[in-house]
Chains A and B, each alone.
Chain A
Amino acid sequence: MTLFEKSVAGRSAFSFGFEEDRAVAERYVPEFARAAVKPLPQVAELDLVRHFTNLATMNYGVDTGFYPLGSCTMKYNPKINERMAADPRLTVRHPLDNATDNQGILQMEFELKECLQEITGMDDFTLQPACGAHGELAGMLIIHAYMRDHDAKRTKVLIPDSAHGTNPASATMAGFQVVTVPSNERGGVDMDALDKLMDDTVAAIMLTNPNTVGLFEENITQIAELVHARGGLLYYDGANLNALMGLIRPGDLGFDVVHLNLHKTFSTPHGGGGPGAAPVGVKKFLADYLPIPVVVCRDGQYALDENRPHTIGRMSGFYGNTAVLARAYVYIKMMGRDGLLATSRAAVINANYVKALLSPYFPPAYDRPVMHETVLSAKGYDKYGVTLLDIAKRLMDYGYHPPTIYFPHFPPYAEEVMMVEPTESESKETMDSFCDALIKISQEAKENPDLLLSAPHDTVVTRVNETYAARHLVTSHRDKKGT
């Protein structure tokens, strides 16, 4: 039952020292602008508390259990981050207040920028983008503006078929035409295809490294040389940086623009779909194109610099998701140089461990060591009449969040693949039990496939009908009343 259906006329959780004063509205707000009463729920405070507390229990989070959702880096979200981000000295600050009155916040942002520069090997950063896709758009707009100034015929962007969907969508929004680059038999970029496609109409290539199959791009040096030699730029989707911290830096590999998902690698919680934060780093020659304002430090004073002559403009109302940036900052400060390296090391070991345990049952398409995640196939189970979806749903009965399924979506991965990303946060015994569960499910598939087909059984709702939702489109309480 929704909150709207729980409403009882006259109930209230409103506790302010004033009541509705219609006379004020009638005196100061003209008739043409005044709305009729808007029917919102009326509930007491305990009604509200029980409603949302119960909803929170109908959710699976990292704090509940293992969440190996590939490409999403569902690592532990340290609680100290939340405490720092809730500091009223940060939360009760107006973004348009003078910089001199907000030196603490600006210092935090500047230091975060410096850390990210060091971690990635980039020269400057904007902290403005709100999520990964927003960062991609900012980065591609920077490349678009740069090419307009230098080589306007470059209107295409190359994107591997293994890329996340946001990459082609962002490149299109930034005004580019997307050209897909096929992958080779080892899961990396097909070099012959790249050689043919990389001509003087191409502005950039967008790469994810490790890519969405969890593999390090073996030919990255050759790719960087080829693209640069022919006048293009390299964009780095940093959603998978968790594998590389302290080991290798995208800036050193030749990338010109980088975005990072702080809500993945840098431990800020995902909140059931954001908010996140996705700073974008650039090499020096692109620093003038960054969105304004940029946090700078001059003679020990922190400021917001609006003077970037070639700036792409603003990406948002203010300067980015400060409270999310604060969480990532605290995380980096606490991990320090050794901790970040240990993080990537543990993330890589964990992914390879899960791969080793599961390979006999769910073979990886490429028999290579992986980085922070592994893609495994469930194709063999179709002979028992079960799909990967059934296996994933059955995992819920064992108390796990399923891995990412049916992604990445390209040959030979076009079907039945799951992407498992344990992250460094998980212990050996958690991974052991998870793998045991999957192995048990692989047995069940043979012996009692109905168990999988009807899964999940132990959840608050059983399988949800997506077609029904699309056919009987009800997306608000008002729609319900109408039907």
Chain B
Amino acid sequence: MQSTERNRFSFIPATGGEQQAMLQKIGLQFDDIVKCFAGNSCVEGGLQLPDGLTEDQMVEYWDTMMSRNSGPRKASLLGAGAYMHFIPAVVPHLASLPGFVTAYTPYQPEISQGTLQSLFEFQSFMVELTDMELANCSMYDGASSTAEAMLMAHRVKKADRVLVAATVNPNYLATVRTYLKPRGIAVDVVRMDGDGRVSMEDLELKLSASACSAVLVQSPNYLGIIEDLGAIGTAVHGHDALFVESFTEAMALGLLKYGVGTGADVVIGEGQSLGLSMSFGGPHLGVFATLKKYNREFPGRIVGESIDTKGRQAFVMTLRAREQDIRREKATSNICSNHALNALTAAVYLGSVGESGFRALACENVAKLQKLVSGLEATGHFTRVFKQSPVFNEAVLASSIAPEDMRSRLAGVPVFPPLALAGGVVPEVQGMPHTYLVCATEMLKDSILGQVLGALS
């Protein structure tokens, strides 16, 4: 390459001439440096990849590819762990500021106060919403956070067995199994009762059978039903196990009680609803909150308030002696990078909707689901299962409409169709062989609801 030739790669500033000058200073040719590959030959003929695209070509390629997805959706009847909520413009705006986006983990606090203080504020929000004493500055997602909570309970209680409610999101349960299997920790599933909630009878039975380190319950549970966490907490504390409360729909934190008031030792869950898009599964936000007495045991990073040499308020990562970079194989977890930018996003979102707004959103979600359920029941093709049980923004409905029929009827309506549950998950309703987990959020405006009901009548 000649030094006058225009550089083809816009992300690499060095010109050929400059690289020659640098190599001269180094005193080697590039091939001499690469000789240290020690007899291993370079990739023969280069990588079999296409030539690079220019930015305008890239935009066109991307556009063609993304147009293969089906059309835009304005609301979602599909929840089950990811939720479509309205995201105020200010949220992505502030969360995209390059000072936040292009920084690394705040190892140098003097030039990372922005990240550190935002994470401290996120932790503060989580402490209030979960009503716990301590929250870390994020995990990857709700499922991995749940698995880490089980491992923490095992560190504390040492019993090689945990109890998990049958009504926990199945992907969370699967993740817990993945994490616990190689450690030889058994996962015992607590049955569901006739109301779609944790069977207190089976819980007592399994708690008494042999020692366990943790009891995991989700509320609202996978079927949308609000569990009586206080009653379960009391039952768990009659035995020597940690009570782990989980949630997949963070919007419920605006209205429902979790944490110390219900006997929780750990509250974990998914924070995607707090201003993050669904993005086909990620990146989302793992929430992890616990009690101060476990401050040597919890996984992940945490920011603390401190002072600088002039006595001014300053933030810094703290309780670091638990972490992998210091403790290596004895660390409480392997987690290093987490989902910090998403934690910051959640803090912006909560700051934006504010105290009464967050409660208003939670109430609106409850109201929308009720409206949707009564509308669907009025068509005569649906009936709620577990009618007596309280729900938040999801519920199980039995229907005479088969899943393929459901999809084609809703094809012209800009909503994600509801999740068809596999047979055997809930009791069958006479004449309505199909069951759906149906979700409604504040996005389900009356006009869209009208279209949904029209299509399914």
Contacts and interface: CB of A to CB of B under 8 A. Distances in A.
Contacts of A316: 140-141, 143-144, 171, 175, 282
Nearest to A274: B337
Interface in A314-352: 314-324, 330, 332-343, 345-346, 348-350, 352
Contacts of B339: 130, 273-275
A95 interface: yes
* Interface size range of chain A in the complex: 35 or more
Contacts of B292: 473
B194 to A, nearest CB: 17
A93 B280 contact: yes
A246 B92 contact: no
B336 A131 contact: yes
Contacts of B228: 30, 32-33
B306 interface: yes
Given A90-B66, A314-B171, A428 B304 contact: no
B325 A165 contact: yes
Interface in B88-114: 88, 90, 92-94, 96-114
Nearest to B183: A175
A133 B72 contact: no
Contact of B8 (A88, A338, A340): A338
B32 A173 contact: no
Given A38-B129, A93-B278, A274 B338 contact: yes
B112 A368 contact: no
B364 A272 contact: no
A369 B28 contact: yes
B108 A392 contact: yes
A466 interface: yes
A466 B318 contact: yes
A273 B137 contact: yes
B38 interface: yes
Interface in A220-238: 220-221
Interface string B317-360: 01100011111111101111111111010011011111111111
Contacts of A29: 226, 255-256, 366, 390, 392
A42 B355 contact: yes
A228 to B, nearest CB: 15
Given A108-B65, A263-B337, A464 B109 contact: yes
B329 A60 contact: no
Interface string B49-63: 111111100110110
B229 A61 contact: no
Nearest to B78: A94
B299 to A, nearest CB: 10
A176 B239 CA distance: 31
B124 A478 contact: yes
A285 interface: no
Contacts of B307: 464-465, 468
Interface in A88-125: 88-98, 100-105, 107-108, 115, 118-119
A369 to B, nearest CB: 4
Given A37-B355, A317-B141, A393 B280 contact: no
A82 to B, nearest CB: 7
A275 B304 contact: no
A324 B8 CA distance: 25
Interface in B33-71: 33-34, 36-40, 42-43, 46-55, 58-59, 61-62, 65-70
B419 to A, nearest CB: 6
B243 interface: no
Contacts of A102: 69-70, 280
B167 interface: no
Given A35-B255, A475-B120, A13 B72 contact: no
Contacts of A145: 182
Nearest to A84: B62
Interface stretch (B15-23, B158-166, B200-208, B378-386): B15-23
A31 to B, nearest CB: 10
Interface stretch (A63-71, A189-197, A378-386, A436-444): A63-71
A41 B351 contact: yes
Contacts of B254: 38
Contact of B112 (A59, A263, A343): A59
B169 interface: yes
Given A220-B38, A317-B81, A393-B110, A141 B182 contact: yes
A18 B442 contact: yes
B82 interface: yes
Interface residues of B, number: 205
A427 interface: yes
Given A13-B352, A168-B329, A342 B9 contact: yes
Interface stretch (B308-316, B425-433, B447-455): B308-316
B128 A478 contact: yes
Interface in A374-431: 392-393, 396, 401-402, 404, 407, 424-428
Contacts of B304: 469-470, 473-475
B334 A216 contact: no
Contacts of B51: 336-338
Interface hub of B82, B334, B355 (most chain A Cβ within 10 A): B334
A267 B361 CA distance: 36
A334 B169 CA distance: 39
B348 A52 contact: yes
Given A91-B279, A272-B115, A317-B141, A165 B310 contact: no
Nearest to A85: B279
Interface in B224-278: 226, 228-231, 248, 253-258, 261, 270, 277-278
A464 to B, nearest CB: 4
Interface in A161-210: 164-166, 168-175, 178
Contact of A16 (B21, B138, B364): B364
A59 B111 contact: yes
Interface string A44-66: 01001101110111111111100
A348 to B, nearest CB: 6
A160 interface: no
A86 B76 CA distance: 19
Contacts of B103: 59-62, 270-272
Given A101-B70, A476-B134, 6 more contacts: A30-B228, A59-B114, A102-B70, A104-B66, A274-B341, A274-B342
26 contacts: A13-B357, A35-B255, A52-B118, A63-B98, A95-B282, A131-B140, A141-B178, A215-B36, A267-B11, A270-B104, A272-B114, A272-B118, A313-B174, A315-B144, A316-B282, A317-B175, A323-B280, A334-B58, A346-B12, A424-B14, A462-B312, A466-B306, A469-B305, A475-B135, A475-B305, A478-B133
Q: Which 9 A-B pairs have the closest CB atoms?
A: A336-B52, A175-B182, A318-B281, A271-B341, A14-B357, A273-B340, A61-B102, A59-B114, A56-B99
